[in-house]
A and B are shown apart, each in its own frame.
Chain A
Amino acid sequence: MSLVSGPGRGAGMTEMPAEMRLFADKHVRYIQSLDTRKDELEYWLTEHLRLNGLYWGLTALYLLGHSDALSRSDIIDFVLSCLHDNGGFGAAPGHDAHMLYTVSGVQILATLDAFDELEKRIPGGRQKIGKYIADLQDPETGTFAGDEWGEQDTRFLYGALNALSLMGLLDLVNVDKAVEYIQSCVNFDGGYGTSPGAETHSGQVFTCVSALAIAGRLDLVEHDKLGAWLSERQLKNGGLNGRPEKQEDVCYSWWVLSSLATLKKLHWIDGEKLTSFILQCQDPELGGFADRPGDMVDVFHTVFAVTGLSLLKYPNLEEVDPV
């Protein structure tokens, strides 16, 4: 996921029926407030998600047309304070380097168009980050580990290709081998799991389809079969679930919808009903989105609600790249 276009225009509220209204200003303020909640234990217990959270918040702000709602230089300072000498990023200063945060770090720098600043402050920084990621590829199987401790997952494979392509460094890894690995994860329903043999899961479908898109190998996807499976994620209330016979959740508005968009099959589900479901999950007073209507909001569900709405062409939102 990255932004198609640069800094946005102001999001003027159009006349929408009350139940279809997006409380954009409330969401902007909610995201701005996230770093002021240091008197809540939850803030400290979620420090391991800080850099991801910043990426999610920033992306939501860009799509809402408020790219300047957080200070650019503060963000760059924070991101670089998470960078280790080995080229990997941790979740926050003092946290170990890991693929998940390295990808968020690169995505934030790409969003802010700040690779030049990275080079200025850390000469050779881009190459260093690229090397950290490339070294995590398993030369035998083509997949990627999350860090030096070796856990492997198609999430890391996608993250690696995404970050490297944003930095223009895809040639540091064996893309063909990575593609081969993705192919070994395909299941009878046309979908993908975390590793060969694992059950199809919408999150993993997103990582594998997007990785194939980056590699230019969408021809390998069984479009109709997987499209059908993805379209069956929509439930009667309009929301999407992640696997058969599971509950709906706003975050799948990203994982499922972006995969459908990449396969050019967005019209295989009812966009209007999904839009209405997503909007029911917002907190109209304090801002933010929850997994389901009436639940506690968080920045994770907020970004995937907003990116989902963006794919659904909700008015006055910037356009998001499904990959």
Chain B
Amino acid sequence: MASHGISRTSGTLVRSEEQRQNELQQIATYKDLVDLVNTKVAERQYTVEVLGLVTKLLNENPEYYTIWNHRRRVLIALLPATPPDSDDASSPERPHEFIDGDLQLTFALLRKFPKCYWIWNHRNWILRKGESMSDTKLASRLWSGELQLVGKLLHADSRNFHAWSYRRDVVAQLQRLQAKAADSAAVRGLVESEFEYTTKMIKANLSNFSAWHNRSKLIPRLLNERQANGTTRRKMLEDELQLICTAINTDPFDQSIWFYHQSLMSTISSDCPRESMIVQDLSNGERLRHYAREMEYIKEILEDEADCKWIYESLLSTASFYVQVEAGTKAFTTLEMQSWLDQLRRLDPLRRGRWDELGRRLNL
């Protein structure tokens, strides 16, 4: 019902009578399978055979959420209610086969339908089930494997927000397990490696806003876990500014980069909530030096890219930060600010209403 990117001509072809009959046959077969699954589940036939029918149906239609619920109903009946006794050599391997089976099914389906909420949701459910039947070590291994899976899916589509959300959730699960095992070094290692992962993703594609976003969320956690002092926090801010300035220089027309730059600038402001600040004890003198340096750098880029509206927007917003600290500054003039605003109006007529309002707010 919601079709994306499918050309209209491919759909409006008139079907021949033979094609129509074929489709009617397909419908009949599909509906038979639906009826069969629904009937068996209604009769509470929670068997391996029914699980197979459910698999068949989900492969045909993974969006059919009720069938995922049916699958869980069947699995709950088939899986033991309590963790198997690990000392009991005769305990069957069966439960973990079910878990593995569903991990394979959902992986194959996610490859084909990476944006289907119900598949992601079921994978999460089956992992929790698997965890409840495992000791901490095995549970950690289960969840660790997920980082590789999600890496594969992000390799296929580096902006898939389901995959990024899932990745954050997996990390949270692993941290919970490591906290349970009182392994604080491992917890720290995880945030570090996730931070490095965003660096890797950004270097592969500067335009990956999902990676920049995740980075913005990881930095405060990273600094807390490192128990960073003023010096190391300042180093982090410097490194981030340098990274983003190189990115701006590489592609000044990419908005992902400018949004991240803007976010770094806002962490410098004294209005920023303390928990989101990178450096928590910046002096006003340091703030002004940062703002001035950024404006200088952006102006340098301007020399080659006079038609890039992001440059003027950034100059105006950094200037506003500057004025907040030092109202009567001589670092730039109202006339300059006026000229940046004029450029925005010229280069970006789509958002004219916004620039007009900005002008009124800045008294330009």
Contact = CB atoms under 8 A, between A and B. Distances in A.
Interface of A: 39-42, 44-49, 53, 90-91, 94-96, 98, 147, 149-151, 153, 187-189, 193-195, 197-201, 227-229, 231-232, 234, 236, 238, 243-246, 249, 251, 265, 267-270, 273, 283, 286, 290-292, 294-301
A294 B20 contact: no
A263 to B, nearest CB: 12
Given A41-B30, A48-B63, A151-B117, A296 B23 contact: no
A49 B351 CA distance: 36
B6 A149 contact: no
B3 A244 contact: no
B216 interface: yes
Interface stretch (B141-149, B185-193, B205-213): B205-213
B55 interface: no
B214 to A, nearest CB: 7
B121 interface: yes
A167 to B, nearest CB: 24
Contacts of A47: 64
B72 A298 contact: no
Contacts of A193: 161, 165
A292 B8 contact: no
Interface of B: 1-12, 20, 23-24, 26-27, 30-31, 34, 38, 60-61, 63-66, 69, 72, 117, 121, 124-125, 159, 161, 164-165, 168, 207, 209-210, 213-214, 216-217, 254-256, 259, 262-263, 266, 276, 349-354, 357
30 contacts: A39-B27, A42-B1, A44-B30, A45-B30, A45-B60, A49-B1, A94-B66, A98-B65, A188-B276, A195-B165, A197-B168, A199-B213, A232-B351, A238-B350, A243-B159, A244-B255, A245-B254, A245-B255, A245-B256, A249-B4, A251-B2, A267-B353, A268-B351, A268-B354, A283-B8, A286-B12, A290-B8, A295-B5, A295-B8, A296-B3
A292 B6 CA distance: 9
Give me the 7 closest cross-chain CB pairs, A-B, nearest first.
A267-B353, A188-B263, A300-B2, A46-B1, A268-B354, A244-B209, A270-B350
Contacts of B27: 39-41, 44
Nearest to A50: B1
B7 A294 contact: yes
Given A96-B69, A227-B354, A269-B351, A244 B61 contact: no
A290 B6 CA distance: 9
Contacts of B38: 94
Contact of A232 (B12, B34, B255): B255
Chain A: interface secondary structure? loop
A199 B214 contact: yes
Nearest to A155: B117
A290 B256 contact: no
A48 B64 contact: yes
A239 B123 CA distance: 35
A291 B354 contact: no
A194 B165 contact: yes
Contacts of A48: 61, 63-66
B65 A291 contact: no
A301 B34 CA distance: 28
Contacts of B216: 187-188
Contacts of A231: 351, 354
A267 B23 CA distance: 48
A286 B217 CA distance: 47
A269 B6 contact: no
Contacts of A292: 5
Nearest to B313: A228
Given A95-B66, A188-B263, A246 B159 contact: yes
B164 A198 contact: yes
Nearest to A199: B213
Contacts of B24: 39
B212 to A, nearest CB: 9
A90 B31 CA distance: 18
A273 B12 CA distance: 28
Contacts of A296: 3, 6-8, 10-11
Nearest to A188: B263
A138 to B, nearest CB: 16
A95 B69 CA distance: 10
Contacts of B125: 149-150
Contacts of A147: 69
A201 B2 CA distance: 18
A53 B2 CA distance: 10
Contacts of B161: 193-194, 198-199, 201, 243
Given A189-B263, A197-B168, A229-B259, A96 B354 contact: no
A66 B39 CA distance: 40
Given A41-B30, A201-B161, A267-B353, A189 B259 contact: yes
Contacts of A234: 350-351
B320 to A, nearest CB: 11
